Chain A
Amino acid sequence: MKVILYLSGFLLLALPAIAQQNTGPTLNILQLMERLFPIQDEDLDYEALYELLLEIYQNPLEINRVTADELQATYLLSPPQIQVLLEHRKTWGDFLSLYELQTLPNWDSTTLATILPFLTLESTATSSKTFFERLRSEENNFLVLRHRRTWELRKGYSKNDSTLNPTSRYLGDPNDLFLRYRVLHAKDFSLGLILEKDPGEVLTWDTKTRRYGFNFASFHFTRYGMGRWKTISLGDFQASFGQGLVFGAGFSLGKGAETVPTVRRSSLGLLPYTASIETGFFRGIGLTRQMGKWQSSLIVSSVGKDGRVTESSDSLGAAPQTLTSLSQTGLHRSLSELSTKNQVRETNLGKNLQYNAQSGRWSAGLNFLHTHFSIPWIRNATSYNAFDFSGQTNQVGSLYANLTWKNFAFFGESARSKSQGHGTVLGLVSSLSRTVDFSLLWRSYDRHFHSLYATAFAESTRPSNERGVYLGFQVKPSSTLKFNAYVDFFTFPWLKFRVATPSNGQEWLVRWSYQPQKTRQVTLQFKQERKMRNLTDEVESTPTQQVGTILKSQAQASLELEISPELSSRSRVLWNQVTFDQKKTQGWMLIQECSFSRANWKLTARMALFDTDTFDNRIYAYEQNAVGTFAIPAFSGRGSRQYLLAQYRIHSRLTAYFRIAQTIYSDRELISSGMQEISGPKQTDTVLLLRYALH
């Protein structure tokens, strides 16, 4: 029972049915993550965030050792609930059973049901086996092999098209290969290896371009709780301290359907990096030492980065190299892309010091990060990036604090970078009554505030050139009804990409969900965003320097039904309208999805139709995929989208996933553009994933 409970976080993903039997009422992790995710309106890769959330939910929290920060990071508990748990533990000693949680005053049955899968009584510290024995006998030990491919040939692969620029032609085949090995035990150790080849890349051993077989390799080995060493992390890792102004761990939940708890960030410390995104992590060594109430962390990292380097000869005849752009994509398909590979070495030296009060009521800390590039980074000058980072080194330091007082959890962090720019986040999360939760966040980031690993709360993708106030609100008048809302006001004191003046905007969301029974749920959501953007010249259709208001409205309605324990259905209608430059355009998408599961297999099928007027009306639709594979694709134009996902447990150790997805456009004969162009209105993608448990 215990073991199953312990693993349930992970099992839930792979085998929801089994987990349900053993932990009683549960919550589908994917559903939870979908709620937590920011509502997407830009092409951002959320895989790293997905992996990090998985990391949080996969590692059950030891109820007798868990800290307020760790509990908060689940986003499932309110500040008073956390406080009550910690006080109960202080007054009455360790919990003897998880069922003791029922006696806590403000813990209702719904809370209990949601949090239970993520808690455990078991303590890893008491294990008598040696580390290597534990490593060898660990049950959470698995190998994942994944193949993905788009079956229609993209332009970049065509061998004998003479019109193609030879330097941008793809050298490899369109197969996407991914291999992962991972063994982990919560609060004890984690060991992992990732090898990845993106489509178009070549599997080759070439020291000149630093390609050793797979194009991307990531390794980590992390030990927890070795005496006073709380964490020792080797290889690839991330750091999360304070509100993410210095150490953000690629983690920015912000404005999503879950409107209250997601504004506050937890200091999760050093975490293994488990995503296959080829940027945004530290490579080297990370250490955390616990000294009573003090905790001290050190980060030493050196990682090669992709970037475009140019040589410019100055008047003295010397030719200093400068880095004009850092590439975030991690793609090395063509000679041109290969020429950017590993062009610059980034060295980081980081420090964190944190104090946790005994009562668990407050904590405070300081962060410092020094970054050095082997080649100075000088961007091609534009007016909107005039205040962005430029140079060879950056230093950023911050102070942060968390305080729980009554039913309020206050948090804040204030940072300053080498450029003298300041960044500050202040906020609170509170349960105003049993049924009403509230959050408030104020932030101010100077246009010349530079923090390269920051992911603090912001409307922009980076916390820079922004001031704003966010209010979040949730009412649960009964156990079946839930109402969420937020409103965010922001100003950008300097120009932005496609906005030729300082600008401002607002965004608000309301969401209403009704769950009369566990097996059925209705959700309605409306979101509106008002921002500014450069107007386009009517005649020449080129951007002008005049700025207009762009108003985006989005609505969605969804119905989730569990018709029988085996069969479930999901229906969703998405609509949006964009008003810009006196033109109104609309987008629609209708989605029907069904899942059917039996003992050791599960089938999910989706059929969707979309019809959008312009690219601005594109619709991001969350899709189910093979375990550990994550994407929220965007759809624009007119067409249909369908997929079939099959999952089959071949035997107790081996599970196979297969997914075939197809988009058929009815309004075009060409998909995508440039080297990615597909001739024909159809795109078919497959995923084949094998997951093998080594124990």
Chain B
Amino acid sequence: MKPSLIFCLWLLFSIEASAQIDLSTQAIGAKSQGLGTTKLYHRDAWSLTNNVGALDRITDSEIGITIDQRFGIQELSTTALSGVFKSQKGSIGIGIARYGGELFNQHRLELGLGTTRGILSFGLKAGLFQTHIEGFGTGNAIQFSLGGLAELGPKFFFGTQLSNVNQSRISTYSSQRLPTLLQMGTTYLPSKNLEIHAELEKELDNPPIFKFGLQYSLEKWIILRTGIHSYPTALNFGLGLQKKNYGLDYAYGQNTALGSTHHLSLFLKR
């Protein structure tokens, strides 16, 4: 009874709120989660997953680990490890993520490259995506994604990403495709300690999601965040603490119908 209930729950979520729940659409990292799951601008170890175009905007090489816990259900949690390494010519990122429980789970291994030319940073990544459903078997897929981040002015950035360009299927034996996403958004930096993000994310088969995030650095080492997004509507709050080369981010998400989510990330910079 219990496994089938969980499976039903997963199905429900994946249909109703796939944008939040499926590994290939999730925003990774507590920073992004605290900012209404905006993805395009953030420059950290999670740029690889969130927007490969921002990969080369990172200032120092960074590795991070993140854990997401959703609605108190173990089967809906995500764990991810990611690293971005900066060099003179560009940046390279590598990451691994796992989502789900024993009966249903997804794994992803990603490798991305990014570089900057003038005002534009762009990148390309390839991912190996594995879906496992107990009793149904395991499917593998390869996904390709492209992204870019342009500096329109000292205070304005524009980012865009196209994920799963090749519209790969869950497995060779399945007709169901993995989500293909197109994201666009702007970032406004009114002052040194303030970031405002507004983004739109469209998945092929779902209504567009509007996202908004606001980040304020109270001090250099303490950062406050809040954000909202639609479909499913949720409100997020986040806190970031950082020392010179390491730090942590925490985010809390509130979904009126389903409950709350918790996200914790740790990172280490060179």
Contact = CB atoms under 8 A, between A and B. Distances in A.
A489 B226 CA distance: 14
Contacts of A475: 188, 190, 196
A491 interface: yes
A172 B57 CA distance: 78
A484 B233 CA distance: 20
Interface stretch (A227-235, A432-440, A648-656): A432-440
Contacts of B235: 469, 471, 487, 489
B254 A469 contact: yes
Interface string B220-249: 000000101000010100000000000000
B190 A487 contact: no
A433 B226 contact: no
Interface in B98-129: none
Nearest to B255: A489
A473 interface: yes
A435 B193 CA distance: 12
Task: Give chain B's interface residue range (CB within 8 Å of chain A).
Answer: 10 to 19
Interface string B81-102: 0000000000000000000000
B207 to A, nearest CB: 13
B233 A489 contact: yes
A506 interface: yes
Given A469-B235, A473-B214, A506-B233, A489 B256 contact: yes
Contacts of B233: 489, 506
B41 to A, nearest CB: 16
A681 interface: no
Interface string A467-494: 0010101010100000000010101000
Contacts of A491: 256
B200 interface: no
A580 to B, nearest CB: 18
Contacts of B218: 406
A435 B192 CA distance: 12
Contact of A434 (B191, B196, B216, B256): B191
A471 B257 CA distance: 19
B238 to A, nearest CB: 13
B190 A433 contact: yes
Contacts of A521: none
B6 interface: no
B17 to A, nearest CB: 15
Main secondary structure of the interface of A (DSSP, over half): strand
A506 B256 contact: yes
A434 B228 CA distance: 23
A434 B190 CA distance: 8
Interface in B23-41: none
A432 B216 contact: yes
Contacts of B226: 440, 471
A504 interface: yes
Interface in A432-454: 432-436, 438, 440
Most B C-beta atoms less than 10 A away, residue of A473, A477, A489, A491: A489
A432 B217 CA distance: 9
A471 B256 CA distance: 15
A469 B216 CA distance: 19
Given A432-B216, A489-B235, A477 B190 contact: yes
Nearest to A438: B214
Contacts of B228: 471, 487
B214 A433 contact: no
Contacts of A504: 256-257
A386 B123 CA distance: 60
Contacts of A489: 233, 235, 254, 256
A471 B227 CA distance: 9
B243 to A, nearest CB: 22
A3 to B, nearest CB: 42
Nearest to B198: A485
Contacts of B58: none
B194 interface: yes
Contacts of B190: 432-436, 475, 477
Given A471-B235, A489-B233, A506-B233, A433 B193 contact: yes
A491 B196 CA distance: 27
A255 to B, nearest CB: 15
Contacts of A469: 235, 254
A403 to B, nearest CB: 15
A432 B256 contact: no
A433 B254 contact: no
Interface string A391-429: 000000000000000100000000000000000000000
B42 to A, nearest CB: 18
A438 B190 CA distance: 13
Nearest to B227: A471
A471 B233 CA distance: 14
A406 B196 CA distance: 20
Interface string B185-218: 0001011011010000000000000000010101
Contacts of B188: 475, 477
Contacts of A438: 214, 216
B129 to A, nearest CB: 33
A632 B252 CA distance: 40
A433 B257 contact: no
5 contacts: A406-B218, A432-B190, A434-B190, A438-B214, A473-B214
Given A435-B190, A438-B216, A469-B235, 13 more contacts: A406-B218, A432-B216, A433-B190, A438-B214, A440-B226, A471-B228, A473-B214, A475-B196, A487-B235, A489-B233, A504-B256, A504-B257, A506-B256
